[in-house]
Amino acid sequence: MLKTLTKPIASIVAGACFVTMTLTQAAMANEHLKNVIEAQERAEESVRDKYRNPYETLSFFGAEPNMTIVELAPSGGWYSEILGPYVAKEGKLIAGHFNMERENAPAYFTRAMAAYKERIADKERFGDIDIVPFDPPAKSRLGESGSADMVLSFRSVHGWKRDGVFGDVLKSVYDVLKPGGTFGIVGHRLPEDGDDSEFTGYVKQSWVIEMAEAAGLKLVESSEINANPNDPANHENGVWSLPPSLSVKDEALKERNRKIGESDRFTLKFVKAS
């Protein structure tokens, strides 16, 4: 009888130890993420945390410090300043940034790239962030096929929709992700009954889901972490009427928009099938 019970008990103990270790690792990862977000070096940028909710957003996507993470279109590096230190010791951050070789590239490409490189210059803090040109379909390779645990996009999908390249972006995402890897995307949300014939910076959530699933990515969860029910998403100058841009001349309207806060946003989590 004793021998009969030994194996089941051993299995239960082993399982309990595994669960305990997993929970401990998750708690440590969460604490590390909090420390990165609350770092003094981010003091100036942290004023936007109440709108961008970086801890909740990255936790929802399942980011871990030992992952290889690709950030698409990081621009000045607001999220890179969190992701870089978060994965610096155990993982890797790859930035799919502007294609500096693009013919007739806008002048702001140069300014933005210089600012980005300056921001991540501290190797001890950020580790070695790989910067790759990402300009699909001309420059679409983000890394070796099946090499990334996670690809993230923050408030960039409207530009890809305008340029008609979101399908190409998704092909690149699918290619670089490992089987079971995560694609997390945040974007300015246009109401489903809204007019998307003009470029306003807002995009319908249903369109993003349809496009991503057509590319082989499965929606596993959506979140209202970055929602703002006070945003009607019908501003004269589009999303840029709201903070931080506040691109309106009328002072009363500017004050109203300041009270609205930053845009209403969808937060979607997809996976590449195993």
Tens digits of residue pLDDT in 138-169: 999 999 999 999 999 999 999 999 999 999 99
Residues 210 and 134 in one domain: yes
In angstroms, rounded to a whole number, what is the distance separating the alpha carbons of residues 167 and 165? 5
Residues 240 and 191 in one domain: yes
Residues 33 and 51 in one domain: no
Quick one: average pLDDT of 178-204? 98
Examine residue 116 and state whether it is found in any structural domain, yes or no.
Answer: yes
* CATH number of 249's domain: 3.40.50.150
Pairing status of strand 265-272 against strand 177-190: antiparallel
Residues 212 and 244 in one domain: yes
pLDDT grade for 197, boundaries at 50, 70 and 90:
very high
pLDDT, position 13: 57
Q: Number of structural domains, the chain?
A: 2
pLDDT grade for 105, boundaries at 50, 70 and 90:
confident
Residues 146 and 16 in one domain: no
Quick one: average pLDDT of 198-217? 98
Residues 14 and 59 in one domain: no
**Tokens at residue 84, please?**
């870089």
More confident position, 2 or 26: 26
Residues 141 and 228 in one domain: yes
pLDDT, position 29: 79
Quick one: average pLDDT of 96-119? 93
Query: Which class for 153: exposed (0-12), middle (13-18), buried (19 or more C-beta within 10 A)?
Result: buried
Helices of type H across the chain: 2-37, 49-52, 54-61, 80-87, 107-119, 123-126, 157-163, 166-176, 205-214, 251-260
In angstroms, rounded to a whole number, what is the distance separating the alpha carbons of residues 55 and 225? 10
Examine residue 21 and state whether it is found in any structural domain, yes or no.
Answer: yes
In angstroms, rounded to a whole number, what is the distance separating the alpha carbons of residues 209 and 204? 9
C-beta separation of 117 from 91 below 8 A: no
The residues, any chain, with a CB within 8 Å of residue 50's CB and separated by 6 or more, are: none
pLDDT grade for 15, boundaries at 50, 70 and 90:
low
Residues 114 and 176 in one domain: yes
Q: What is the pTM of this model?
A: 0.90
pLDDT, position 10: 58
**pLDDT above 90 as % of the chain:** 86
Residues 30 and 136 in one domain: no
- Residue 151: CA atoms inside 13 Å, Cβ hemisphere, count? 29
Residues 30 and 164 in one domain: no
Q: 79 pLDDT exceeds 80? A: yes
Examine residue 167 and state whether it is found in any structural domain, yes or no.
Answer: yes
More confident position, 234 or 16: 234
Q: 24 pLDDT exceeds 70? A: no
Residues 27 and 155 in one domain: no
* Containing structural domain, residue 15: 1-37
Q: What is the pLDDT of residues 243-262, one digit of tens each?
A: 999 999 999 999 999 999 99
